[in-house]
Amino acid sequence: MKILLTLILVLIACLVVFYLIPKSSHSHKFTNEEVIYKTDLSDMWNIMKAFATSNRQAAAPEKHQIIPVQPLSKARLNQGTDDMLYRLGHSSLLMRLDGDFFLLDPVFSERASPVQWAGPKRFHSSPISVAELPNIKAAIISHDHYDHLDEAAIKALIDKVETFVTPLKVGKYLRQWGVPSERIIELNWWQETALGSVTLTATPSQHFSGRGLLDRDQTLWASWVIAGSRNRIFFSGDSGYFDGFKQIGERFGPFDLTLIETGAYNELWRDIHMLPQESVQAHIDLQGKAMLPIHNGTFDLALHDWFDPLEQVSKLAKNHSITLLTPQFGEPVNVAAPAPTSPWWRQVMLDKQVGGEDVSNKLQQAEIKQSRVSH
């Protein structure tokens, strides 16, 4: 309780400081196309109150509940020639496209936080270390939040990555961390760059940016269209649901695979993080053939149980006859011909009761919750 009260007081103090800063002291700010996301003191109070009164029973896996991770190695990654994708954690992915490797939002640190002694901690290890990675054609960043832009990872990747591709102004962080300017490409929405046979296009998302109290929306956020000679992939980054998905689908679809944010959601901030039913609708709008839900399973960033995103989206996908891929971390996914995946989180939950409650009842509650929001 003391820790919670201290946290609330710190947050209130920070908000007071933020709102006392004169507007003229803020530099150029980026904005969304549809919703201008703002949080006033009332909004922040409601969010803090929701966190303080949350009665979750499974915010994270229990210590004995081990999330399955399939180890990766450079030798294994270099086998074959098909376009392949591997989920490393949260929204971090490794893919091989047209023979080259690409990293999406690489986060390898133990915590998604400005400091490594506090903040959201990993549920599982990464399937591969930075040292074991093959040479990377490009690292693609969606925005500057700590669960997507990891300073320690960027520094470790400097000698591994040929080019870093970011939305506008995000490159400033990379330059501060030692990445040479000539190896950074910054794009506005709808701009593209070709790296060999792969074209990367920055497309809109509905979110916000900032790594501190006084830098709100001073860097751009984006989703990405990643088009190779054989396959086309969409990477959502973070986003609330908006009409932009349909526009992207009409301009660049169909997609062989969509990587769609499905996690860290709540009605209080649905403008910037989709609810599961909205994630499924985004996939439909994008004209995706197969959907892989991301932004879940690694960090506790919201108020739902850790397995809730995967459980809800699985049932929604079945109801909409969508090919859903839920690979274990490190499990290979063939982009053109993905093999069926398993609901691995259910086995993790079956390892023991959840908070003294039988896991079957817990999963049944998740199913009831999903049924209510889908009607």
pLDDT digits (tens, 9 = 90+) for 243-275: 999 999 999 999 999 999 999 999 999 999 999
Q: Hey, what are 12's tokens?
A: 């209130």
Phi, psi (deg, nearest 5) at residue 56: -60, 150
* The pLDDT of residue 5 is above 90: no
Instruction: Answer whether residue 310 is part of any domain.
Output: yes
Instruction: Answer whether residue 226 is part of any domain.
Output: yes
* Residue for token pair 């922040």: 44
What is the average pLDDT across 297-308?
Answer: 96
Q: Which of 185, 182, 178 is nearest to 164 (CA)?
A: 185
Query: Going by C-beta distance under 8 Å and a sequence separation of 6 or more, which residues neighbour residue 47?
Result: 39, 268, 269
Beta strand pairing call for 232-235 and 223-227: antiparallel
Q: What tens digit of pLDDT does each residue of 225-246 get?
A: 999 999 999 999 999 999 999 9
What is the average pLDDT across 191-204?
Answer: 98
The domain that holds 110 is classified in CATH as 3.60.15.10
Looking at residue 66, what DSSP letter applies?
P
* The pLDDT of residue 171 is above 50: yes
Instruction: Answer whether residue 67 is part of any domain.
Output: no
Instruction: Answer whether residue 193 is part of any domain.
Output: yes
pLDDT for 15 equals 43
Beta strand pairing call for 223-227 and 332-334: unpaired
pLDDT for 354 equals 45
- C-beta separation of 205 from 244 below 8 A: yes
Helix (H, G, I), strand (E, B) or coil at 173: helix
Instruction: Answer whether residue 17 is part of any domain.
Output: no
Instruction: Answer whether residue 197 is part of any domain.
Output: yes
Q: How many domains does the chain have?
A: 1
Host domain of residue 342: 74-373
Q: Hey, what are 36's tokens?
A: 């201008």
- C-beta separation of 101 from 95 below 8 A: yes
DSSP 292-358: EEES-SS---SSS-TTHHHHHHHHHHHHTT-EE--PPBT-EEESSSPPP---HHHHHHHTS-BTTB-
Instruction: Answer whether residue 10 is part of any domain.
Output: no
- Angle at CA 124, nearest 5°, toward 121 and 130? 95
pLDDT for 28 equals 85
Residue 250 buriedness (CB in 10 A; 0-12 / 13-18 / 19+): exposed
Instruction: Answer whether residue 37 is part of any domain.
Output: no
Residue 51 buriedness (CB in 10 A; 0-12 / 13-18 / 19+): middle
* The pLDDT of residue 3 is above 50: no
What is the average pLDDT across 346-370?
Answer: 61
| Ramachandran bin of 341, using left for φ above 0, alpha for ψ from -120 to 50, beta for the remaining angles | beta
pLDDT for 72 equals 98
Which band of pLDDT confidence, cut at 50, 70 and 90, is reported for residue 370? very low
The fraction of the chain above a pLDDT of 90, given in percent, is: 78
* The pLDDT of residue 375 is above 80: no
- C-beta separation of 296 from 350 below 8 A: no
Q: Which of 61, 45, 63 is nearest to 53 (CA)?
A: 45
In what helix (H) or strand (E) does residue 359 lie, and over which residues does it extend? Answer: helix 359-373
